[in-house]
Amino acid sequence: MTIQTLYLLSPEILLVIAALAIYLGGAFLPEGRKPVRLAMAAILAAALVLGLTRYEGIHFGPLMLDQLATATRWLALVFGALLLPMAVRGIREPHGSEYVGTFLLALVGLMLAGSADELVLLFLGLELISIPTYILLYLGRGDAAAREATAKYFFLSLLASALLLYGFSFLYGATGTTELAGIRDHLSAVGAKNGAAGRLVKIAIVLIVAGLGFRITAVPFHFYAPDVYQGTSHANAALLAILPKVAGMVVLLRIVAGAMPNLAGEACRLLLILALASMTFGNVVALWQNHLRRLMAYSSIAHTGYLLLGLAAGLAAVPGGNGWDGLTAVLFYLAVYAAATLGTFAAFAYLGRDERPLEAVEELTGLGRTRPLAALALGGFMFSLTGIPPLAGFWGKLAVFGSALGVGAGNAVSPMGLWLTVITVAAVVNSAISAAYYLRIVSTMYFRAPLGTPRAEGGPAAAWTAGICAVLVLLLGLYCAPLWSVAADVACPATIAVPVEGR
Amino acid sequence: MNTLLLVTILMPLAGSLLAWGGALRARRSALVTTLFVLGMAGTLCFSYPPQAARYAATELRWFADAPLDIRFSLALDGLSVWLVGLTALLSVVAVLVSWDAIQDQAARFYRLLLVLEAGMLGAFAARDIVLFYVFFEFTLIPLFFLIGIWGSEERQHAAVKFFLYTLAGSVLTFLGLLAIVLWASPPGRWTFSIPELTARLMVDPLPHGVQLWIFVALFAGFAIKVPLFPLHTWLPLAHVQAPTAGSVILAGLLLKIGTYGFLRFSVPLLPQATAVCMPWLLGLSVGGILYGALVALAQSDIKRLIAYSSVSHLGFCMLGIFSLTAPGVQGGALQMVNHGLSTGGLFAIVGMLYERYHTRQMKDLGGLARRLPVLSFFALVLVLSSIGLPGLNGFAGEFLLLLGMFQQAFVSGSQGLQVLAVLSVLGVVLGAWYMLKLVQQVFFGPLREPAASHGPPVRDLNAREVAALTPLVVFMVWIGVAPGFFLDRMGPTLDYLTAPAMRARCEMSNADGQIEIGSAGCDRDQFAAAAVRVGGAARTGVQTTVSRTQD
């Protein structure tokens, strides 16, 4: 840790200081006041600092400040600014300042996980997401269901962290370094497939994927998600559906695609199995759900499947292959998914009441007439998650499926290409299945006579968040080239770092 | 860069933004918009030069990232120009028939209708695979709401079934289209341009195994859309439950996207697979023709009857297209337009009857010819067109496509195809039977009206309804009397699109030793030329028959 490292981490440090100030100052706040303004100001300041920090190169000690890191940090800040105001609304006094401070720490966790180039810092970043999340879950709602959800998440999250750490230790044992660049150099120099070291690395991959699989809710590490989503508030569910998933995918990208290029084949097979299981299980089980957050939990599991398919395609891509890059597709999909999911939860939160949030699909009945704008936005998110053009989700699916199919196309038919093609067919069938439950929400809103005007008392913040996400989803659907080129730039360094012969 | 086509497609979208406020204001602005669109589409249709392949083209970069080259590319050729015209025409009809029927949330209804129009215009005019798919899939959203909000009793079920059924097929189609791009693009650049891919694949077709897989994937979506027997089960429910305008558009236009997809993608891009699958598709088409006709014969609900007749008629379109002969393909393409005019019109008539009597049951109605002479006149003309009376459009299309089918069956000498050809004629007979049964029951015989229909006394068609039906009849007579005008403008495009498949079929027959004409074997170009000549002769034949009937 040099002075320069501290300088480069100044946005994160700023947020941590703000969080501590909020913890301490919360005691002095009058009853009923929550320090949201201060937190928003801190996020804004962090964004300013992030925008103004200048540096040359990408490696700084334990940090890797490439475009992936920059994009993740920006995403964390934007996500935080959109979610925080609506999230604090339902928090019981006197926990307002605790919630806000902890929320900021979770954001710092994502920012660190995105910019770490070293196993220990990576783990630190991931834990900085998990540990605040326990508290946020508990503070979100005070009832028995929330306590159950918190306990469940706590224990399983600990298990996942242990698995991940165990995997890291194998990786360290095989290569003798904790730096990702060092691991990559070592693996490509020794030839990772042979000897005891090779076996250790394979075990490491399995353990790391299992540990991160929990964060991204991949089947079979998903089973906490439905209960936890159901047992918490809409805002917390949005947090869980996005923050750990982004972090998990970014870290997976960094480790599997960036640091272990020689083992791309093994990793790819593993990810394909998880992808198929996640999307099929998520979509099929979601068909029977009637609880909104439970349904969205299974939907989030299914989307993990598509993301993993894109990642596998990125790993399996042939050298010099053209077209959609799988890694770019994953990042693009992640952004699009985050917008639609955040918007959905914000709309749910807006339509409920503080003391009684929206729970069942039936509560949306007739919304097309009683709350036309909210219904329009929600309908847009549902169609986007299904992948119907011209909404953003369509382009995400186009890119993921195109990249997966691209591996199998061409004249050299590899077994991996064939597998990817088969699983892509399964994936499109899955997105048709997913339409059934997304449409159920839409048809409930529009095709049934309203039972009475729902008391939309979720507050203006939730309405704004839903509105902003809806506009994003539509605009990106009509013209997605800007986001795509950002995603391509971001994915590029992660792929350039990969030696060509290993891919 | 010709912006007329672009403006034509964007116009309904702009119109849908204006259609706010009360019912009257919404439907007026919808009518004005669709009329404007009709004017522009009409200009495009009648200024279309017969040989043009890229007429009124517009091209904008859309999603271009080094190797990916997705463009917002629109153009018309001899196939799409008529479908664009038909879309514009039927949209006006759809607005007019909804005038009084839709009172609930009218502004929203017309906004969706206009958005749907834009989607269909775009699907027919798109010259980029992704753009086509975007429009193709996008049409589902407005139609889903049109059926689900304004449909009859089982609307919710019908809307969801329609959406899921169609989506399940079209996602596979999407994969097939992507696979075509991935396999057929030049190295280093992925092109999504349909004309470019067509040209490339004509010179250098894909390996046969790959073609077959892709054909199956494309088939999944297009066959459901058509709908080809036995994938038609969504159609009766959706047609019957949809509001009148929805049925008009669904039957008249949306089904055509399926046949259009076959003609635009499956046949030209996968010629060998088309040649291999041809007998199967012909079998399914004939199955659909007979099944649709028989089920239609058993219906007592007029709307259901017409819905099943669509299954039968679309079977005829597919029969023509997959006969892989010039007259057959031309007949099939013409029949697409014909079916849009006649069945669209018939659904409009059912809607008008329903508004008057609140029933769609044949047994409740009878002898309306004396009670509602104008409505009965239009109904009779539409029915006659639908059963293919010489002098009206149905005859020109059916004659050509049956001619093509027989030519293929007897030139190739395949007995299976000969049986199919004969069976398809049976379909024509059945078609006349159920349609005339409908006319006899509802419009002739003793007067029978549902007792004590509350509300104002039943009146004949008003000026608005006549205005909705008249243009359909005008075009039916025009196509019936002078099909040459339309065929001349369709011909070159269709020949271009189907030539590789015809050649592949010919080579296959050659290999099997089935071909009998010119025992030296069939010179492909000679075969194609012969087919074109026969087509020309048939066309003259149609014209002579027509003039004779008129004498």
A295 and A401 co-located in one domain? yes
List b or e across A79-92, with b for residues whose CB sees 16 or more CB atoms inside 10 angstroms: bbbbbbbbbbbbbe
A94 and A182 co-located in one domain? no
State pLDDT tens for residues A171-223.
898 888 888 888 888 887 776 566 777 788 888 999 999 999 999 999 888 88
**Omega of the bond prior to B205 within 30 degrees of 0, cis?**
no
CA distance A435 to chain B (A): 7
For A232, the token pair is 């918490």
Task: Return the pLDDT at A163.
Answer: 94
A128 and A159 co-located in one domain? no
Q: Which residues contact A496 (CB under 8 A, 6 or more apart)?
A: none
Distance between CA atoms of residues A256 and B491, nearest Å: 56
Domain boundary assignment for chain B = 1-269, 277-449+461-551
A332 and A428 co-located in one domain? yes
Task: Write the residue in A323, A368, A428 that is nearest to B175 by C-beta.
Answer: A428
Report in angstroms the alpha-carbon separations of A255 from A113, A119, A264. 12, 9, 11
Name the amino acid, one letter, at B32. Answer: V
Q: Does B206 touch chain A (CB under 8 A)?
A: no
> DSSP 3-state assignment of A116?
strand
Q: Does B158 touch chain A (CB under 8 A)?
A: no
A73 and A174 co-located in one domain? no
Q: A120, A140, A160 — which closes off a domain? A: A140
A223 and A93 co-located in one domain? no
Start-to-end CA span in chain A (Å)? 34
Count of alpha carbons within 13 angstroms of residue A470, beta-carbon side = 19
As to burial, measured by CB atoms within 10 angstroms (0-12 exposed, 13-18 middle, 19+ buried), residue A56 is: exposed
Q: Residue B75: in which H helix or E strand, if any? A: strand B68-76
Which residues in chain B touch residue A448, judged by CB atoms under 8 angstroms apart? Answer: 156
pLDDT beneath 50: ranges in chain A? 495-503
Distance between CA atoms of residues A269 and A289, nearest Å: 31
Tokens 């089947």 map to which residue?
A219
Contact A406 B171 (CB under 8 A): no
Q: Residue A499: in which H helix or E strand, if any? A: none
Count of alpha carbons within 13 angstroms of residue B166, beta-carbon side = 27
Distance between CA atoms of residues A440 and A301, nearest Å: 18
Which residues in chain B touch residue A424, judged by CB atoms under 8 angstroms apart? Answer: 175
Which residues in chain B touch residue A442, judged by CB atoms under 8 angstroms apart? Answer: 144
Task: Please give the angle made by the CA atoms of A65, A133 and A85, to the nearest 5 degrees.
Answer: 85
Q: What is Dmax (Cα atoms) for chain B?
A: 75
Report in angstroms the alpha-carbon separations of A309 from A15, A28, A164, A257, B188. 35, 50, 21, 14, 23
How is B188-211 classified by DSSP, letter by letter?
A: T-EE-BHHHHHHHHHHSPPPHHHH
Q: Which residues contact B145 (CB under 8 A, 6 or more apart)?
A: A446, B108, B112, B159
Contact B137 A388 (CB under 8 A): yes
CB pairs under 8 A between A and B: 96
Nearest C-alpha neighbor of B491 from the set B532, B461, B456? B532
Distance between CA atoms of residues B140 and B142, nearest Å: 6
The total number of structural domains that make up chain A? 2
Q: Give bridge partners of residue B60 from the DSSP assignment.
A: B72
Give CA torsion, residues B239, B240, B242, B248, to 10 deg: 50
**Omega of the bond prior to A94 within 30 degrees of 0, cis?**
yes
Task: Return the pLDDT at B452.
Answer: 58
Q: Does A488 touch chain B (CB under 8 A)?
A: yes
Distance between CA atoms of residues B330 and B336, nearest Å: 10
Contact A406 B182 (CB under 8 A): yes
| φ, ψ (nearest 5 deg) of residue A179 | -85, 135
Q: What one-character DSSP code corresponds to residue B372?
A: S
Q: A124, A140, A156 — which closes off a domain? A: A140
> DSSP 3-state assignment of B76?
strand
Domain assignment of residue A75, given as a range = 1-140
Q: Which residues contact A396 (CB under 8 A, 6 or more apart)?
A: A306, A329, A332, A333, A336, A337, A387
Distance between CA atoms of residues A190 and A205, nearest Å: 17
Nearest C-alpha neighbor of A205 from the set A427, A130, A503, A197? A197
For A270, the token pair is 């593993």
Q: Which residues contact A40 (CB under 8 A, 6 or more apart)?
A: A81, A84, A85
A146 and A123 co-located in one domain? no
Task: Write the residue in A394, A401, A481 that is nearest to B64 by C-beta.
Answer: A481
Which residues in chain A touch residue B160, judged by CB atoms under 8 angstroms apart? Answer: 436, 439-440, 443
Q: How many residues does the structure list for chain A? A: 503
A134 and A147 co-located in one domain? no
Task: Return the pLDDT at A403.
Answer: 87
pLDDT beneath 50: ranges in chain B? 515-527, 530, 545-551
Contact A488 B145 (CB under 8 A): no
Q: Which residues contact B486 (CB under 8 A, 6 or more apart)?
A: B82, B334, B337, B479
Q: A140, A171, A189 — which closes off a domain? A: A140
| φ, ψ (nearest 5 deg) of residue B361 | -85, 135
Task: Write the residue in B62, B134, B178 that is nearest to A389 by C-beta.
Answer: B134
A314 and A410 co-located in one domain? yes
For B386, the token pair is 């639908």
Distance between CA atoms of residues B311 and B293, nearest Å: 8
Contact, A351 vs A373, CB < 8 A?
no
A36 and A174 co-located in one domain? no
A321 and A254 co-located in one domain? yes
A124 and A158 co-located in one domain? no
Dihedral over Cα of A97, A100, A102, A105: its sign: negative
Contact A439 B174 (CB under 8 A): no
Which residues in chain B touch residue A410, judged by CB atoms under 8 angstroms apart? Answer: 182-183
pTM for the full predicted model: 0.91
Nearest C-alpha neighbor of B504 from the set B320, B322, B239, B234? B322
For A431, the token pair is 């997105």
> DSSP 3-state assignment of B93?
helix
By DSSP bridging, strand B190-191 and strand B68-76 are parallel
> DSSP 3-state assignment of A458?
coil
Distance between CA atoms of residues B311 and B284, nearest Å: 11
Contact B133 A480 (CB under 8 A): no
Nearest C-alpha neighbor of B295 from the set B397, B427, B420, B385? B427
Query: Which of A446, A448, A483 should we substitute to test contact with B (largest number of B Cβ atoms within 10 Å)?
Result: A446
Which residues in chain A touch residue B156, judged by CB atoms under 8 angstroms apart? Answer: 443, 447-448
Task: Return the pLDDT at B1.
Answer: 54
For B283, the token pair is 């079998």
